[in-house]
Amino acid sequence: MLGLMQDWPLLIHRIIDHAAAVHGPRRIVSRSVEGPIHTTDYRGLRGRALKVAQQLERDGIGLGDRVATLAWNTWRHVEAWYGIAGLGAVYHTVNPRLYPDQIAWIVNHAADRVMLADLTFVPLLESLAARLPTIERYVILTDATHMPATALKNAVAYEDWIAEVDGDFEWRIFDENTAAGMCYTSGTTGNPKGVLYSHRSNVLHAMSAMAPNVLDISAQDTVMPVVPLFHANCWSMAFSAPMAGATLVLPGPKLDGASVHGMLNDHQVTMTAGVPTVWMALLAHLDAIGGRLPHLKRIVIGGSACPRAMVEAFRHRYGVEVVHAWGMTEMSPLGSTSRLMPEHAGLGRETELDVLARQGQPPFTVEMKITDDGGRELPWDGRTFGRLKVRGPCVTRAYFAEGKEAIDAEGFFDTGDVATMDALGSMQVTDRSKDVIKSGGEWISSIELENLAVSHPQVAEAAVIAVPHPKWGERPLLIVVLKAGESPSRDDILAFMRGKVANWWLPDDVVAIEEIPHTATGKIQKTTLRDRFRDYMLPNATAMAG
């Protein structure tokens, strides 16, 4: 027997309709790419989003067509998302920080038909255009005054383009599982993979994100997403902020410490979110000028692990609550947030910082489990670590045009992370599963060993990789870059580490090299190290073989 409630598909356009109807005059303040501050409101943004949809339809775009965006966080980018999705087309955010070859590969793989791009990226697109045959038209997100002369195909200034229609348009209605958005992940190996969000997943994700345990967004908040719209669906804020009726502040292209500080204070931002590097720059700026954050209440930090010292700095030096978040493009992306629970009351400042530095608890709509390689579930004891697997309505089941499922028989997606879970369901990432060292059936965290090694006063950087071992399968090899002028011995370093981890975790050898290789985004390139040290003979392995 079915319930007798209304059939009301979860469609993205309903978010902006709600914002315009109930929170119509709430402001959207942007740093424009052209320079000045621009202000509109939800009613205005909805009106222009309707024009985007109407004009795209005139240009022949329809259900399922991909429309690329290569743009900073501004009102034009947000209204374009709503316009594209409200037509049943798919907004495809392209990350301008990728290598040009990757951008070309992604646009071709997605078969994008229209490209909406900021002025910033016109030169890049001009250099790539010959390799982007699927793009029928380039819409430059500016007005006639700022429109550059360009040979890009059918190039038009966005403001001229939407001025051609009157906005008398009705959102299209379709199945809530219809594709709405697309974002490619750029793994360290292989080609990027396209994640394809649906209207349902984006709406559910935004509802989940609004909740007090997650981003905690209300109509009384002023929200500034520093994380770009092209970074993993902007952590929901282009949807959850309008859904809540929050005032929205969009920082445009200027993400340096001084600019971010200026936007936070000038527009009385109460909540912001971004990756640790942005906040490192903000902290450096605040320290340099003796700046304060009088309006900011909380800051969501994710994208990569937030150092405990950063939690401490914002919390105790600036009086700003830190919400450490973890997620993946494949998870829409919010997977967990770290918040103090009632059980933590009275445990004191240091324990609180430890709790807040964990990746935290999944919201409702995210199920987590940790398993061993055989898929057996492991206990949530805060110590045992295993492959982190997730399930939920906002989690990927397959990648675009791969033609195969990316989930296991129980419907779980393997995150590629290795993590512990504690009794309160708080998760801590301990490693990437491809980096963990499997020694005699037990796992050793490369990250924990690296963190320990770099705390040695003479070590500048450290990487731990697995090397083959005849008895244990794999054993850890510690690779270090020494600080200038220092030359500690192998035994010095191992003696420093001894007693701070289980003895069987201690690396079997230490090698000092000149430079550790990094990826474009600053991560250690362990694949290169593994190739280089593939045939490395560990001392005790030799002894045993001899």
Q: Of 19-27, 29-37, 484-492, 517-525, which part binds a copy of itself (CB under 8 A)? A: 19-27
Is 220 or 519 the residue whose CB approaches a copy of itself more closely?
220
Name the residue type at position 462. A
Q: Report whether 222 contacts 267 (CB < 8 A).
A: yes
> HEC string of 43-70?
HHHHHHHHHHHHHHHHCCCCCCCEEEEE
| Site for a copy of itself contains 439 (CB under 8 A) | no
Is 291 or 392 the residue whose CB approaches a copy of itself more closely?
392
Is 41 or 79 the residue whose CB approaches a copy of itself more closely?
41
| Site for a copy of itself contains 332 (CB under 8 A) | yes
- What does the alpha-carbon distance between residue 325 and residue 306 come to, in Å, rounded to a whole number? 8
What is the smallest separation between the CB atom of 7 and a copy of itself, expressed in angstroms?
A: 7
| Site for a copy of itself contains 414 (CB under 8 A) | no
Interacting residues with a copy of itself between 82 and 121 (CB under 8 A): 90
- What does the alpha-carbon distance between residue 103 and residue 345 come to, in Å, rounded to a whole number? 48
What is the smallest separation between the CB atom of 466 and a copy of itself, expressed in angstroms?
A: 32
Q: Report whether 159 contacts 145 (CB < 8 A).
A: no
| Site for a copy of itself contains 398 (CB under 8 A) | yes
Active-site residue, from 159, 330, 450, 474: 330
Q: Which of 354, 367, 414, 461 binds a copy of itself (CB under 8 A)?
A: 367
Active-site residue, from 321, 438, 448, 527: 438
For residues 392-419, one letter each, b for 16 or more C-beta atoms within 10 angstroms of the residue's C-beta and e for the rest, the string is bebbbebbbeeeeeebeeeebbebbbbb
Structure tokens at 250: 């969009």
| Site for a copy of itself contains 482 (CB under 8 A) | no
Interacting residues with a copy of itself between 46 and 65 (CB under 8 A): 63-64
| Site for a copy of itself contains 491 (CB under 8 A) | no
Interacting residues with a copy of itself between 124 and 183 (CB under 8 A): 175, 177-180
Pattern of binders to a copy of itself over 190-219, x per CB under 8 A?
A: -----xxxxxxx--x--xx-xxxx--xxxx
Name the residue type at position 171. W
Q: Any residues with CB less than 8 A from the CB of 482 and at least 6 apart, and which?
A: 458, 459, 460, 488, 512
Q: Which of 36, 190, 290, 342 binds a copy of itself (CB under 8 A)?
A: 342
Is 330 assigned a catalytic role?
yes
Is 514 assigned a catalytic role?
no
Q: Of 13-21, 94-102, 141-149, 496-504, which part binds a copy of itself (CB under 8 A)? A: 13-21
- Going by C-alpha positions, the residue among 425, 390, 46, 365 that lies closest to residue 207 is 365
Is 150 assigned a catalytic role?
no
What is the smallest separation between the CB atom of 167 and a copy of itself, expressed in angstroms?
A: 18
**Residues near a copy of itself (CB under 8 A), total:** 79
Burial group, residue 254, by CB count within 10 angstroms (0-12, 13-18, 19+):
middle
Interacting residues with a copy of itself between 239 and 258 (CB under 8 A): 243-245, 247
Distances (CA, A) of 150 to 108, 122, 163, 377: 21, 8, 20, 57
Active-site residue, from 443, 450, 472, 526: 443
Length of the chain: 546
Is 42 or 121 the residue whose CB approaches a copy of itself more closely?
42
Q: Is 478 helix (H, G, I), strand (E, B) or coil?
A: strand
Q: Which of 26, 324, 456, 526 binds a copy of itself (CB under 8 A)?
A: 26
Query: Is residue 496 left, alpha or beta, with left meaning phi > 0 and alpha meaning psi from -120 to 50?
Result: alpha
Tell me the catalytic residues: 185, 330, 438, 443
